Structure 1
Amino acid sequence: MPSFPLICNNERTSDWELFDQVRSRPIVRTPFENGAVQTRTRVTTSRWKFSVGANLMTTTLYNTLTAFFDANQGGAFDFIHPITGVTHEVRFSEDELPGAKPTGTGSNARWSISGIALEETAGSTVVTETTTTSTTSTSSSSSSSSTSSTISSTSSISSTTTTTT
């Protein structure tokens, strides 16, 4: 699996002041005409969202970043957390890279970019809404030969629905 490039001159994954993380567990809200709102979780586990950037990247590092984006947009890749060192499987959250601000020209050119949005892909299993029902039925019947039979059926499905007003 490809890895997010080191985009800082000092070998850190991103500049500390440009790094941000948020823990997210998306929910689906369904409003009703009477003002009530039904909610349910969209995924089974929480996911991390990261925002990274770098100040004063060389043109070579900036070109590496844009080539990585072009090659991996829409797919998953590894991102090493700059503080904990933990590797997360992520994807780009946006369809485009944020604008980069150039400083200087020629071999002295440097690029600053912030707000590169990444979101964790692990644990993105979709939760489906179901209903809990349990039914057991028994019936007996007799025929002329005095034979009896028993039929039993059980079905079970689980559900979670929360309604708030």
Structure 2
Amino acid sequence: SELTKLRGEDLARIYYQSQSAAIDRIQSIQETERIACDFRRLDGFLFPASSGQESDIKRELDAAVKIGVDVEKTKGVPFAGFSDAQALRYANQATFHPLKYLRGLAAGIRARGGALYADTIVDKVEETDGGVRVTTVSGFTVSAKSAVVATNSPINDRVALHTKQAPYRTYA
């Protein structure tokens, strides 16, 4: 509901579609590459952290339905004190072991002639005619057709996302 309020239904719909496509893509890659990463489809649930937040559930349901999310209102989740809680069930979500998945991705990249560099601080990423040039703080340069910048916080200035990020920890 917050995304819809801030950016509108069209952008919220595109965001939802991109997240669903990402789950489908992960599933496809792990199947194609035969990555044993414990991938499985399951339902996700949203429920209030405390009583009196049923209006939050209603607001989220209304926003989700408007943009085409596969969601339904249900009652109860299997936690002490929440057997009667209003909840939303989001169908067709997924879970997998991220380190096993990344290990499989890395193996697939190497098998196709790709290279991975760790413990290397990148200073600059520049798009060139037909490719990309990556420069490290130690002065090395790698030119390639494409590069994946896999960081927790962006290192470029194409968007100001990193200025809006807050530190957090998740145990999901």
The reply to whether TM is greater than 0.5 is: no
Point out the structure with the larger helix share.
2
Instruction: Give the TM-score taking structure 1 as reference length.
Output: 0.24
Q: Which has the larger radius of gyration?
A: 1
Q: Name the TM-score, length of structure 2 as normaliser.
A: 0.23
From the two aligned structures, give the one with the greater strand fraction: 1
